[in-house]
Amino acid sequence: MAGVYRALGRAPDAAHLAHLSTAIRRVLDHQPRTPWSLLRRAVEAQGLLTGRDSELLERLRRADHDELAQLYRRLPAGARALIRQGQHPLRHRVADEDVLLGADLERHLATDLVDTLLPDSPEDALVPLGRAWMQAKQARKELGAAAGAPDAWHIVGGLRRTDPVSPDVALLAVTAEPETWARRAADALPRDVLVVAGHRGLAIAADPEPIVVHAIRPEAAASSLVWYTGPRAHVRELKARAHGLGLELTRDALRRGEHDLVLADELALYARLELPFIPVELRSRPEVLDLAVSGTLPELVDVADIQGDLHMHTVYSDGRDSVAGMVHASRALGYRYMAITDHSPTARASRVLTLERIAAQAEEIAAVRALAPDITILQGIECDIQEDGSLDVPDSVLERLDIVLASMHESFGHSPARILQRYERVLRHPLVNVITHPANRAPGRLPGYALAFARLFEEAARTGTAVEIDGAPGHLDLDPPLAELAAAIGAPLLVDSDCHMAERLGRQMRFGVGLARRAALTKRQVLNTRDVNAIRAFVSAKREGRPWQA
């Protein structure tokens, strides 16, 4: 409990503690088992609990507040820290602050608590983007079936900001009757799935991360979107700005005195704060309000700017769909060009493109070209970089292809310096046009190579080789800080899907563009916002040893 006071920034006081404790017990009475099992899981996973400690927690669950305070002190420091930080258990309970605090507590206290616990701290980062997306999709489907489809769904939180990992998945359900809708959904959900049901909110235990759904009225949508999209530092700054203008920003409304201002959308909310609309991907930047005030927000690259996708796989390697299937999906997305880039012979993919099959694939692509004259289909390859920095496909084969991608799918246990040497050799290869997923990171699992990336990007710029922002959920690489560094150094940048299934082409490109936007990239800085002639010129400049001009 001490941690709650620390979070609130106020001194513990007995009457308030009693109040808080009662309110928490009310939640526990509603759903006594799940929250603590989640707590145990969270704590045990970090090796912070012994069997004795688990028992302690069980007693903690049943304790009254005096005993609670006593038991709390006996928990290991790590477990106390988890509770203090408002990791899983407390955060679940503040999905709807009315539940935690009781509706009769002062409004500002409730607001401050949620503000304090709005999840955006990096140590909470848990759900990789791809899984967050799947969970949001599944939750919408199941809740829609359980409670009826709301008027609208909005994704908020880290998923909306294209954070590579988020602490949880958060959604808004817009409906004229949020309380009724939330109650209906809560009643329909199985007990072991529902963690907390509030007056108008739900927290759901999706394994292993929570999904938080806030049901809101349509007139609250603009404020709620800004509020729950976060991150909390941005919301705090907007609140301060509102205050300076004689307004009050809450999760439900922008108010002047007793009156809620009518806001058509987020744009209108920012306008009331005398600001231009701030793109969600920039809201995590500390300097963003200054940029907005001075009218110098960058004009970010948009999905609609993308003219082609230069990295995807088919049944010729480990993709699921045929060349025609990928072409059909690319046309549906409005692309003007695309490249088929299957894995080379030594890749550790489940299937690879053998040298003999490259000719067969060329024939198949030619046949599909005849049927799809409105899109340019490039034949490329994703070549594995060998241990000595050479490629596993002879130049005589590569030079017949339209574009060559090169990648490492492992490090051979090499030091960063050695990996960089391999990259430098491959960058100087006149037939290599793109380095894919350069850091080889896996969001939430592997941090990726700790290279001197500035040197890699300088060499990419010097040799006219692109580095890629790969939108596949398992890569999301380059990550935004590295993409920003690459752009600052002047390395050509591509955003690709690295897609293995036709129906995911669009989604993975959106992830990639989201990362590019997080990196504050403009359309001009992304090579595949240009037409196919620019791509061909880019490839031939390197092949002919001419410098490439952006």
Given the rule CB under 5 A, which residues bind Zn ion?
Answer: 382, 407, 498
Nearer to Zn ion, 93 or 437 (CB): 437
Please, which residues bridge with residue 169 across strands? 211
Comparison of 297 and 352: residue with beta carbon closer to Zn ion: 352
Residues in the chain: 550
Q: Give whichever of 364 and 498 is closer to Zn ion, judged by the CB atom.
A: 498
Q: Tell how far CA 231 is from the center of its chain.
A: 13
Residue 30: CB partners within 8 Å, gap ≥ 6?
196, 197
Least distance from Zn ion to the Cβ atom of residue 481, Å? 21
Residue 384 C-beta: closest distance to Zn ion, Å: 9
Of 146, 260, 180, 194, nearest to 33 (Cα)? 194
**For residues 201 and 319, which CB has a smaller minimum distance to Zn ion in the complex?**
319
Q: Please state the closest distance from residue 529 (CB atom) to Zn ion, in A.
A: 21
Give the nearest distance from C-beta 93 to Zn ion in angstroms.
42
Residue type for 162, please? T
Q: What is the dihedral of CA 144, 283, 550, 449, to 10 degrees?
A: -80
Question: Residue 200 or 313: which CB sits closer to Zn ion?
Answer: 313
* Cβ-proximal residue to Zn ion, closest one: 498
Pick from 63, 60, 112: nearest CA to 83: 60
* Closer residue to Zn ion (CB): 96 or 498: 498
Start-to-end Cα distance in the chain: 58
Strands (E), 449-548: 466-470, 493-496
Q: Would you say 435 or 539 has its CB closer to Zn ion?
A: 435
Q: Nearest-CA neighbor of 199 among 217, 214, 189?
A: 214
Instruction: Centre a 10 Å sphere on the Cβ of residue 201 and count the other Cβ atoms it contains.
Output: 25
Which DSSP state fits 547? P
Please answer whether residues 171 and 140 qualify as being in contact, where contact means their C-beta atoms are separated by less than 8 angstroms.
yes
Burial class of residue 367 (count of CB atoms within 10 Å of its CB; 0-12, 13-18, 19+): exposed
Nearest-approach distance from CB 319 to Zn ion, in angstroms: 9
Dihedral Cα 147, 153, 157, 162, nearest 10 deg: 130
Q: How far is the CB of 518 from Zn ion (least distance, A)?
A: 21
Cα 363 to Cα 83, 323, 396, 499, distances in angstroms: 62, 11, 18, 22
**Closest to Zn ion by CB, 266 or 382:** 382
**Alpha helix (H) residue ranges in 280-339:** 288-293, 323-332
Q: Which residues, including other chains, have CB under 8 Å from residue 13's CB and lie 6 or more apart?
A: none
The CB-of-208 to Zn ion minimum distance in angstroms stands at 27
CA dist 25 and 474 (Å) reads: 40
| 162 vs 341 by CB, closer to Zn ion | 341
Distance of closest approach, residue 519 Cβ to Zn ion, in angstroms: 20
Nearer CB in complex with Zn ion: 251/500:
500
Smallest distance, Zn ion to C-beta of residue 407, A: 4
In whole angstroms, the minimum distance from the beta carbon of 439 to Zn ion comes to 12
